Amino acid sequence: MSTTKWTIDPTHSEVSFKVKHLVISTVTGFFRKFEGSAESTSDDFAGAKVNFSAAIDSIDTNQADRDNHLKSGDFFDAANHPNLTFSGVITNEGGDYKLVGDLTMRGTTKAVELDVDFGGVAGDPYGQTKAGFEIDGKVNRKDFGLSWSAITEAGSVVVSDQVRLHLNVQLVKQQEAELVEENS
């Protein structure tokens, strides 16, 4: 059984999160710097091993003050925990894909299960083979030590505990020459 190696194409991928603010609206943020890989032994990616990392300093919510607060010790503590990481496997039960593994944020690791929509595999105009995925799920930020909280005068929560994750990921199949170069 041969293993195929894939890496994330950052120019055709995005990593975003959404969290309720004041219970009435949603703030969207992105991680602008990330990397990841997969190793598959089947065309449908069932059983593929996945590794992913995102740089906390790359958080972008379109508001510098909020981004700096998220990077601070109140939330991600980027100075001491510069990356969030994931290591796991893709499962496929009758076409129902999941990404199951360990997510680590702020030094805390928890098991997570995310829904996966496998878009398929296609060749691009440059001779590369690509695979596409949309990944969705929810995590409780406080489970990972991101516990800053505040209540408004009216009793509303400023930041929801639940965070929705959404990733659009395009993987690039690594060619034999690239693999030999990486291993030398």
pLDDT digits (tens, 9 = 90+) for 66-101: 899 999 998 899 999 999 999 999 999 888 999 999
| pTM, entire model | 0.85
pLDDT one-digit tens code per residue, 1-52: 689 999 999 999 999 998 876 666 678 899 999 999 999 998 889 999 999 9
b/e per residue 91-107 (b: at least 16 CB within 10 A): bbeeeebbbebebbbbe
Say how far apart CA 149 and CA 140 lie, in whole Å: 13
Domain residue ranges of the chain, discontinuous segments joined by +:
4-183
> pLDDT digit string (tens) for 127-172?
999 999 999 999 887 788 777 565 545 544 456 677 899 999 999 9
Is the CATH number 2.40.128.110 carried by domain 4-183? yes
